[in-house]
Amino acid sequence: MRNYRITTVWGIPIRVNISLLVFLPVLAWLIGSGAQIELYAGIVGGLVGTELDLARLQAGTTPWLVGTLAAVGLFVSVTLHELGHAWAAMRYDLEVESITLWILGGLASFKQMPREWNREFWIAVAGPITSILVGVVCYAGLFALPTSATVSLFVVGWLSVTNLVLAGFNMLPAFPMDGGRVLRALLARNRPYASATRIAARIGTFFAVLFAVFGVLSFSPILLLLALFIYAAATGESRTVALSDLLEGLTVGDVARPSALTIDAAASVEDLVDRMFADRSTEFTVTRGGEVVGVVTVADFRALSQAERAADTVGDLMETDLPRLDADMSAFDALVELDTARASAALVEGPDGVHVVSREDFSSAMEMRRLVGTGDPF
């Protein structure tokens, strides 16, 4: 979904997802509803030691004003929470690409997550610590406001309570929430990073199931959405870490295969079919004048009619918009590049010419790593 850049802090773009823009009026209505105002008016009144004027809070359009101020204040608090993560990451010279606010809160995107347990620990806890500090500042602010400022007292008190709840909720060990990342960091002190990630992801999946059950029982779409997010993010990161471990230390030049099976771009499709049967291969590197220019696979001509197969050349069918990668690029980064480009293969440029690397090559490399362990079979 589309994101809108609203400002920049410390060189970090702050973006708002369209889901938040749609959800904010709903959140304002929920906060400003009679039951919520009555509940939190009692809590805030207890904090300041005086009873808030409930009739004034519920009169006319005041509930809408209260709800809007509280909803906006909540996402300002979420932004500060994510900036806490960003500040801690920047202390370790890690690049923060952006902060995005969306329907479930905020996401700070890092160019690369640290694998050192102590760095991940402090980056993870920096967010909840920031929320606690914001909650304490809001609590102190209650005593600076006059008792007649009923709306301001309610909103500031609500933000104080909500920030403390936000900090506590985020510390649940539901990976990849902050508490789950803290758990992985602690597990990684005495076990491999991939193993720590798998354990944390399993616990995160368990929490996702719990949130889904409570979401169904309480008819809460937000809890259901949170459950889906945690499940997808936990399993996705676990898979990513496993891939990264299997490809660690390899460059894309190590993984790329020599261009042994080649076919000229001017060859007919019928010639290609004959070569595929003769060489028992479904994929060929395409050359023109001895230079690698693309890749052709069985899927490229499967839908062609007999007449088209006779008339077309390999050059008409081949994939040419393939990513071009340097042979020294890490294998994992190259695989990410393939996924980003949604390409089936890439051209690898090295000192000995241009080679081709496909998803099957990455699969073969990882399978070899599984069989021989962490040694280098290349």
Residue-wise pLDDT tens digits, 212-255: 998 898 888 888 888 888 888 888 888 888 778 777 778 888 88
- Which tens digits make up the pLDDT trace of 17-73? 998 888 888 888 888 876 788 888 888 888 888 888 888 888 888 888 988 999 999
Residue 81 assigned to a binding site:
yes
Quote the pLDDT of residue 277.
81
Three-point CA angle 58, 60, 62, nearest 5°: 60
Is pLDDT of 273 > 50? yes
Using DSSP, state whether 259 is helix, strand or coil.
coil
Q: Tokens standing for 91?
A: 């202390």
Each residue's pLDDT tens digit, 160-219:
999 999 999 999 999 889 999 999 999 999 988 888 888 999 999 999 999 999 889 888
Q: Predicted confidence band at 320 (pLDDT cuts at 50, 70, 90)?
A: low
Between 320 and 59, the higher pLDDT residue: 59
Secondary structure of residue 340 in the 3-state scheme: helix
- What pLDDT was estimated at residue 93? 92
Kindly report the CA angle at 89 between 87 and 93, in degrees rounded to 5? 110
Cβ 176 vs Cβ 207: under 8 Å: no
pLDDT for the residue numbered 306: 64
Percent of the chain whose pLDDT exceeds 90 = 31
Handedness of CA 217, 220, 221, 224 (dihedral sign): negative
How far is residue 222's CA from residue 97's CA, in Å, rounded to a whole number?
27
Q: Which residues pair with 100 in a beta bridge?
A: 15, 107
Closest to 292 in 3D by CA, of 250, 346, 363, 343: 346
Mean pLDDT over the full length of the chain: 84
Element (H, E) at 19: helix 18-32
Largest CA distance in the chain: 89
- Radius of gyration, alpha carbons of the chain: 28
Angle at 258 between CA 253 and CA 260, to 5 degrees: 170
Per the listing, tokens 């001017």 go with 266
| Ranges in the chain annotated CATH 3.10.580.10 | 252-372
Has residue 76 got a pLDDT over 70?
yes
CA-CA distance, 323 to 261, in Å (whole number)?
20
| Separation of alpha carbons 308 and 317, rounded Å | 11
Quote the CA–CA distance of 180 and 246 in Å, as a whole number. 23
Query: What pLDDT was estimated at residue 27?
Result: 84
Using pLDDT thresholds of 50, 70 and 90, give the confidence band for residue 131. very high
Q: What is the CATH number of domain 252-372?
A: 3.10.580.10
Q: Is the predicted pLDDT of residue 317 greater than 80, yes or no?
A: no
The candidate with the shortest Cα–Cα distance to 5, out of 138, 73, 98, 134, is 98
Q: What pLDDT, on the 0 to 100 scale, is given for residue 1?
A: 63
The set of catalytic residues is 82
Say how far residue 17 (Cα) sits from the centre of its chain. Answer: 14
355 is in an annotated binding site: no
Look up residue 47 and give its amino acid. L
Q: In angstroms, what CA-CA distances link 4 with 20, 83, 152, 183?
A: 11, 18, 29, 33
* Closest among 58, 278, 70 to 156, alpha carbons compared: 70
CA dihedral 197, 202, 204, 206 (to 10 degrees): -170
In 3D space, the residue among 229, 197, 224, 193 whose CA is nearest the CA of residue 211 turns out to be 224
Taking residues 119-136, what's their average pLDDT? 96
